[in-house]
Structure 1
Amino acid sequence: MTVERLQNTKPTTERWDEVFEALSSEPRRQLLVTLLEAPAGRRVLLPDAAVGPAESVDLPKRRLQLTHRHLPMLSERGFVDWTTDPFCAQRGERFGEVAAVLDILQANADALPDHLVDGYRRFEDERGE
């Protein structure tokens, strides 16, 4: 309870900075999009949930990156909760903040410059959406 109250007292600018920091790296963006598309309360398996459809990655290396960099940062800010056994993640208490930004970006993808959304559009086409 105390943690939630303290997080709710953060200045608005700090909260925005945390959302944009969370979205500033492809593995984090992909994980957050995967969680957005998953039903609430559902865990997603890592590292697969943090790999984009057009990415070719070394999965053991991505696991290390997630474990030591991306997941601690997302967890510290309350955007995700994660475990190592099994290696998975789910929405955190503040996930709604980052989800709202992702929803707005997805809903307005046509208004964004093509070079910012080409990969996303190809992914949507591959999925048949």
Structure 2
Amino acid sequence: MLNDLLTIVANDYRRELLISLLERERDRKTEALLPDDIAVDGANRDAQVAELHHCHLPMLAEGDLIEWHRDDNWITTGSRFDDIKPLLELLAEHDEELPYRVRCVNR
């Protein structure tokens, strides 16, 4: 189980998406519109959004970490989000100390 969670957060896009959902939950926001609320910023934004839709969102939805409402293009936390929440909180708490620096557009 821990190996699976570490694999999920090992990817920049998945990690940032999940941390963004964690922060939205703290702000009492229940959903995030895609890509405006979550998409990773950068030179290849269109490619990153496509990668989110074709790779990362399906993986997270299959693992019940998110609920992906494809037709309306928004996501919420899934039934197993609490399983990864302590790890996300730890990563968010130590963000400035860690070597990765991928930031979301609206964070």
Residue 70 (str. 1) matches residue 53 (str. 2): no
Residue 46 (str. 1) matches residue 29 (str. 2): no
Q: Which amino acid aligns with 1:44?
A: A
Cα drift, residue 58 of structure 1: 3.2
Query: 2 CA distance for matches of 1:34 and 1:115?
Result: 17
Query: 1 CA distance for matches of 2:98 and 2:6?
Result: 19
Choose between structure 1 and 2 for higher RCO, CA contacts under 8 A separated by at least 6 residues: 2
Specify every segment of 5 or more residues in structure 2 that has no aligned partner in the other structure, as ranges. none
Structure of greater Rg: 1
Q: 1:28, 1:50 within 8 Å by CA — same for their partners in 2?
A: no
Q: Cα RMSD over matched residues?
A: 2.6
Out of 94-103 and 35-44, give the one that drifted further.
Answer: 35-44
State the partner residue of 2:5: 19
Residue identity over aligned pairs, in percent, reads 30
Cα drift, residue 85 of structure 1: 2.4
Query: 2 CA distance for matches of 1:69 and 1:88?
Result: 16
Runs of 4+ in structure 1 deviating by more than 3 angstroms, as ranges, are none
State the partner residue of 2:89: 103
Query: 2 CA distance for matches of 1:22 and 1:50?
Result: 17
TM-score, normalised to structure 1's length?
Answer: 0.65
Aligned residues: 101
Query: 2 CA distance for matches of 1:102 and 1:66?
Result: 19
Answer 1 or 2: which has greater helix percent. Answer: 1
